[in-house]
Amino acid sequence: MDQLLVALDVDSADRALKLAEHLRGAVGGYKVGKRLFTLEGPSIVRALVERGDRVFLDLKFHDIPNTVATAVAAATSLGVWMINVHASGGRKMMEAARDAAARAAAGRAAPLVIGVTVLTSMNAQALAEVGIAAPVMDHVLRLASLAQEAGLDGVVASPQETAAIRMACGGDFTIVTPGIRGGAAVVSATDDQERTMTAPEAIAAGANYIVVGRPIIAAEDPRGAALKLRTQNEEIRTKT
């Protein structure tokens, strides 16, 4: 199921590569985030790309436009399939990221560049603490629209905002949803997600891709958990 991306949030390249091998064919790609990238560096991305895997590099770049542009160019050179930046970095930063990916692709297909709206761990109180008085939904839609205006391919957003973003930004705008829980999930007692849905709910709401970490990698049978989600999502797709 191409829509299912597994977050390789583990503590070694060996563990990540074994998981990827075990799950290959059952999922659409892998997310490499800050934990694994900090521990193992670009080599883990190269190893997955060389195996033919789609890699979503989830480092959420957020800096001045030139710094983000050089980081995106470096990520593109690794052969990643998708990269994200924080939409709150502003239009110029997002435009710089978009342009850098296109230049660095050098004739190859450029990676998807998507903007992070509001982290799924945040709620209205958390936004208020950083000076944002708008409701979560309003702020997410503002950032999604800004990302679209800046020429990004899509956004990362909570599944709870997916339908509204789809309505506002249209059918060609890519929506990636983390915060997937329930169903085949194994939920940790330290789970920090606030705005969540099950995988079938997220797909039904209009998500292009869902990112699932702990519900799969912490399962007793990760491949079985992935295949269960795949079946649930395909059932939803046939009904819509």
Q: Spot the catalytic one: 18, 31, 34, 60.
A: 60
Contact between 150 and 98 under an 8 Å Cβ cutoff? The reply is yes
- How many CB atoms within 10 Å of residue 71? 18
Contact between 115 and 136 under an 8 Å Cβ cutoff? The reply is no
CA-only gyration radius of the chain, Å? 17
Q: Please confirm, yes or no, whether 60 is among the known catalytic residues.
A: yes
Which active-site residues does the annotation give?
A: 60
